[in-house]
Amino acid sequence: METVTLTADEQAAFFKIVESLTGTCQSGVYKKDLLLNNLVRRLNELKLLSFPEYILLVSEDDAEYDRFLSLMTIHTTSWFREMPHFELLAALIEERLKGKKGDQLIQVWSAACSTGQEAYSIALTLEGLRLKYPNLNYKVHASDIDPVSVSVAQAGTYDLSGLSSIPVMYHSFFSRTGHSLKISESIRSRMSFFTASLLEVDSTTIDEKMDFIFCRNVLIYFDRPQVEKIAKNFSTCMNANGHLVIGHSESIDATNVGFTLKKFSTYQWRPKHVVRKGDPQVEVALQSKFHRRPDLIVIGASTGGPNILGNFLKNMPLPCPPVVIVQHINPDFATGFARSMASASGLRLVTTDGAVELLENCIYLALGDYHLTVKEIDSKRFIVPSFDPPMNSHRPSVDKLFLSVSETSIPSVGILLTGMGKDGADGLLAMRRSGVSATMAQSKESCIVYGMPKEAIELGAAQVTGSDQYLSQVLRSLIEKKFEKAG
């Protein structure tokens, strides 16, 4: 049989339909090829020879519309995927249950549940806890945009091959028939399945308030504004101090919606969350010899930096001290990265291929293969490029920048974020020892690569440690002078 081939215009129309129906941004060749293959396979199954024919069928047949939604959705799920999340779920609930009497209801929502293995893994974890804490009552809600997947999840019947991924302690909650596994009625009676888009579901469509929301490995298919909208929607559906669990390779702009990263890509939501005086880490930062608002912010990052810096610096409070960033990046991409940082932060990008004065509301990055150094000249402060040899195998080097700052009298904040190696650790220590700088390093749990921050923390270079979101909060607090110097 002849295989249908879509024209360029038909492909563009197809991707536009996908985006309008699912909300996901159609970026990346791999994903587009996967969706096109799904479409062509379906056309072949129906023995249709043109894309317009199929779209007409979808518009007239509700069952085919559901099938169309299914083939547009990336289905990747498995039993107890990313096990640390389930271990943390159990630990947090057990901590809540200890010493408590009376019925304790836990509500969990598995958003983007696909065919249901994640939702049932959550339920099995809770059922296991219920054997130890009989007063535990729970309900697991599960949703997906794909109605076909939701119907599979509701049935609760799976291939026997999945049993090897399920801890032995939960095997008794399944019955076996031939090559199939069926989840027990005692579990399914506590489940609620529904079809919904992540961009549309919020407190107006969900009556209950959730203690935990799992939304893992799906946010990567949305752009940043959409991810922020989804996170805000989730916050409207949560109990105070509830937890949002996302994929290990994903992140959200936590500060904007009151989330704080805890560990294992799990965020806790606190209504109207702000960093308050009395937080011990903030107090440590304020006990440095800061007599006034900092005059300079210097940041170093390597592997993983481009993934978090946009959110870290998003919409910086104005007026803002000059911000200097050293990010290990291929010089061919340095200019584009610098522009994206300026756009995210709301600061003006200044070219650094010659000595330039440091000014408020400006951001400075190396746009090529050279170091950035800070110097004081005739009572003014300057960024001065340097073509000295690489330091720690890098040019620009974070250590080169931080060490130059430590030799000045400028009240500064030095921040070392995710990255491989040790660049920046010695320089951050020198800044701390200078007596006029506050120093911070990103914690292990939130790092993509815990190399550079680890070296700095082990040297005792960081006065404040925490997630990138937490450090961003502390930095903004110092800029806005929300706190007086401690002591």
Give the residue numbers marked as catalytic.
Answer: 302, 328, 423
Q: How far is CA 316 from CA 31, 231, 401, in A?
A: 34, 20, 21
Q: How far apart are CA 297 and CA 321, in angstroms?
A: 7
Terminal CA-CA length for the chain? 81
Q: How far is CA 94 from CA 87, 115, 164, 392, 441, in A?
A: 11, 28, 26, 46, 31
Q: How far apart are CA 8 and CA 475, in angstroms?
A: 48
Gyration radius of the chain over CA positions:
26
Cis peptide before 331 (omega within 30 of 0): no
Cβ-contact 444, 455 below 8 angstroms: no
State the DSSP H helix or E strand holding residue 17, giving kind and residue range, or none if neither: helix 8-22
Q: How far apart are CA 186 and CA 181, in angstroms?
A: 15
Residues sharing a CB contact under 8 Å with residue 71, sequence separation 6 or more, in sequence order: 35, 38, 39, 41, 42
Q: How far apart are CA 46 and CA 107, in angstroms?
A: 42
Cβ-contact 477, 486 below 8 angstroms: no
